[in-house]
Structure 1
Amino acid sequence: MPHLILVRHGQSEWNLEKRFTGWVDVDLTGQGKLEACKSGEYIKELKLNIDYFYSSFQLRAVNTLKFIQDTLRSNTKPIRAWQLNERHYGALTGLNKNEMSEKLGEDKIHEFRRSWEIKPDPLSRNNPYHPINIDAYKTIPKNKIPDTESLKDTYERVIEYYNSDIHNKLLDNKNILISAHGNSIRALCKFLFKLDNKKISLLEIPTGNPLLINLNSKQEIIECKYLDKDRAKNLLIF
């Protein structure tokens, strides 16, 4: 029975500042590092052998995985995939969520954040926050780097990668851990839990709380739970 563990990175510097982060490459806060270490402790209690470790290209996910692997004392080389990056928030990138709610209205910001197909205006490619101007993404083909994304766009790149690189490993009964982001994990959950476009907007993904998913031979979920029960969110599946 393969196990899939999804971990949203620990609190980032821009989580703390309530800014739209997207593809900007910010690091973890002190609390975020503690959340990552605690994630490692919860995973260690499972006594599972993790065969593959994945993260996005982004520092907050990369470092979350590093803390987890250090806690597990695992030397397995992680696989980094830009397809697991956070959703690109376009022209909202870097702006304060509370200030934009006051300016545009809470309903409009909620629509930008959680609707399935609506995307913010594109971010100028001259903006220093645009991914083409960030060193971490220099190896990604420029035609693959977005100017803005909807959740649907994020879903399509995440699930294409999952089906091409991760799915077969689970079929081969391998245990996999993915360190990623709120929206890339939300995309995976939509696919795995078979959530509709409306329900996915209700799914909350807490930082630094491992989500354990146990699958049968048909890739059907037989168990799904957050390891830190005190910080668990409704999974909308059971």
Structure 2
Amino acid sequence: MTTPSPSAPTLLCVPHAAGVARAFTGLGQALAPHARTVALELPGHGTRMREPVRDDFAGVLEDLVRATGAHTARPYVLLGHSMGAAFAYELARHWSALGRPPRAVLLVGRNGPTARSLLPDLHGLPDDAFLDGVRRLGGTPPQLFDHPELVALFTPVLRADFTLSETYAPLPGPPLACPLWVSAGTDDPMVDDAGLRDWENHADGDVHVEWLPGGHFLLDDPAFQGYVAGVLRRLPQPVV
């Protein structure tokens, strides 16, 4: 496995709704020459599944602040996928306010905070309707829905994450000054061009919008991995 150079930034990754840190394993391997990839695990997910799941945005953000603090002392980049894009954006604002901004933020598969929603909200629906909506969105292993014990285990996690994602509104404070790299798959039903460009309303720096082949779940797609590698290569070297 290729070892990143000493000057390579740390790539801090926040997953999608009901996603886990290991979702970034393939991306981390593909980016090994360009970054040290650190995938963040949310409470109640993956390796932290014994912890209570949370549906309060401020509380989850505080958890992520604690998890990322040690990584912000050296050059770093934030990447958030879908729900994770909202957290990546707010993490960047938090650390920027403390004088430790990221070199860039990559926002994947999510419209800007003030864009119109393309799909109806699911988080407040009864369980059957909620799970049917989740199933139709894709991304959740279909066999999960065939096992009542798994459905009972994961429904609270899914509902909490959809609550976080669907009720998010930007926190008070200035927009970001660091570059934003916004991307999505051309077949992603959850985004549109106007929505992606809405991120321009929440940035004081450059905003780059890129459409890539694929759908909503594209972390393992070679085109997406090549795109992220290209962004990392284009970042200016930090001044020592």
TM-score range, shorter chain: 0.3 to 0.5
Higher relative contact order, chain-length normalized (CA < 8 Å, sep 6+): 1
TM-score, normalisation: structure 2: 0.34
TM-score, normalisation: structure 1: 0.35
